[in-house]
């Protein structure tokens, strides 16, 4: 094993198409991927012309213990024609890829009312919008991806309309960005869950940057071990996982509580809405951005 290596990267060029991309991400995450760097988003190329000569690369990061299986994984996604080139595997020192990630992280509009600010920068003096300070560690989630922005838009709207004490559950918190937004927009208590301890360490650091440590609490417990009921639940996860967790969301919401689901491709919305209706939810508003959608439903 190479000294000081704590991660391995798998870099590839995904075949175009939302269904292919979803399948590729499902395989990568199920194999132990800790996070995905979409070069098109994080290099400031969002909305790039499809005819561009620049390949739209994707890099997935895996903890070092997964390394013995990565050649087989690379071969699997190549055989399934999910990538247009042979995936490249590389040993990566922890700080090498984190530094690369941070270099591409700048002031970002999360919603019309909220900005994400790198923790080492100051919000411009003329800026009147809310700033959320984020240090991009291993939590992944800096507000650049459509799914995070969609969840943030709906979360902000919900908290604006809520009166009284509100407790929020953030499932798959990552960098903690949605949990912090909930706290800054008036939630008196936020429980943020993630199975990745290193992500939680980063999320706690981000809470400190935003002075919301008294409002946001973190656990790496499985959702099934949570017994508290909530006024509002937000989950920004891929659709197959949302389908699996839907009964737990129903259990954890108070009557009249609201559920925000994001991470859904447009052609997956109907199935998820039907599942929620079967579990006793009334589906409310839907938002879309690019190929992605998010929606709110209310527990009957």
Same domain, 181 and 207: yes
Least confident of 1-15, 173-187, 202-216, 256-270: 1-15
Least confident of 12-16, 140-144, 205-209: 140-144
Same domain, 140 and 268: yes
DSSP secondary structure letter of residue 175: T
Same domain, 56 and 134: no
Same domain, 184 and 55: no
* Count of Cβ atoms closer than 10 Å to residue 208 Cβ: 13
Among the candidates 103, 132, 163, a domain finishes at 103
Highest mean pLDDT among 118-122, 203-207, 271-275: 271-275
Instruction: Give the CATH number of the domain where residue 53 resides.
Output: 3.30.70.2190
Give the C-alpha separation, 231 to 236, whole Å. 17
Range of the domain at 9: 5-103
Residue 140: the pLDDT is 54
Q: What's the average model confidence in pLDDT over 218-234?
A: 94
Same domain, 227 and 247: yes
Same domain, 151 and 222: yes
Same domain, 62 and 164: no
Same domain, 147 and 274: yes
Q: Where does the pLDDT of residue 48 fall: very low under 50, low under 70, confident under 90, or very high at 90 and above?
A: very low
Highest mean pLDDT among 41-50, 130-139, 182-191: 182-191
Q: Domain total for the chain?
A: 2
**34 vs 202, more confident:** 202
Among the candidates 87, 103, 119, a domain finishes at 103
Same domain, 177 and 62: no
Paired residues of 193 in beta bridges: 171, 219
Q: What is the pTM of this model?
A: 0.72
* Count of Cβ atoms closer than 10 Å to residue 214 Cβ: 10
Same domain, 223 and 159: yes
Among the candidates 103, 120, 149, a domain finishes at 103
25: pLDDT strictly greater than 60: yes
**231 vs 57, more confident:** 231
157: pLDDT strictly greater than 60: yes
Task: Read off the pLDDT of residues 80-113 as tens digits, 9 standing for 90 and up.
Answer: 999 999 999 988 876 555 555 556 567 888 999 9
- For the CA atoms of 49, 54, 55, 60, the dihedral, rounded to the nearest 10 degrees, stands at -100
Residue 94: the pLDDT is 60
Give the C-alpha separation, 72 to 69, whole Å. 6
Same domain, 69 and 13: yes
140 half-sphere exposure, CB direction, 13 A CA radius: 19
Task: Read off the pLDDT of residues 70-86 as tens digits, 9 standing for 90 and up.
Answer: 998 999 899 899 999 99
Least confident of 10-19, 138-147, 171-180: 138-147
Same domain, 78 and 146: no
Give the C-alpha separation, 123 to 128, whole Å. 9
Instruction: Give the CATH number of the domain where residue 226 resides.
Output: 3.40.50.150
């Amino acid at each position: 094993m190479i000294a000081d290596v704590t991660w391995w990267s798998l870099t590839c060029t995904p075949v175009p198409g939302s269904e292919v991309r979803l399948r590729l991400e499902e395989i990568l995450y199920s194999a132990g991927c800790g996070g995905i760097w979409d070069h098109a988003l994080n290099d400031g190329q969002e909305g790039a012309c499809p005819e561009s000569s620049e390949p739209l690369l994707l890099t997935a990061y895996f903890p070092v213990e997964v390394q013995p299986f990565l050649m087989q994984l690379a071969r699997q996604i190549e055989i399934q024609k999910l990538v247009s080139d042979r995936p490249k595997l590389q040993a990566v020192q922890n700080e090498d890829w984190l530094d690369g990630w941070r270099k591409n992280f700048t002031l970002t509009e999360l919603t019309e009312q909220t900005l994400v600010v790198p923790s080492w920068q100051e919000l411009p003096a003329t800026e009147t919008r809310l700033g959320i300070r984020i240090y991009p560690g291993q939590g992944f989630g800096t507000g650049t991806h459509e799914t995070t922005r969609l969840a943030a838009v709906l979360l902000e709207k919900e908290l604006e309309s809520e009166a009284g004490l509100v407790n929020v559950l953030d499932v798959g918190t990552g960098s903690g960005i949605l949990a912090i937004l909930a706290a800054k927009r008036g939630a008196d208590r936020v429980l943020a869950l993630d199975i990745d301890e290193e992500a939680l360490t980063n999320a706690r650091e981000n809470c400190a940057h935003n002075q919301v440590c008294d409002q946001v609490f973190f656990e790496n417990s499985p959702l099934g071990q949570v017994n508290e009921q909530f006024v509002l639940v937000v989950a920004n996860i891929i659709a197959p996982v949302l389908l699996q967790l839907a009964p737990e969301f129903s259990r954890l919401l108070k009557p009249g509580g609201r559920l925000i689901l994001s991470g859904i491709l447009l052609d997956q919305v109907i199935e998820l809405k039907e599942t929620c209706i079967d579990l006793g939810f009334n589906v409310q508003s839907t938002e879309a951005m690019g190929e992605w959608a998010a929606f709110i439903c209310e527990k009957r």
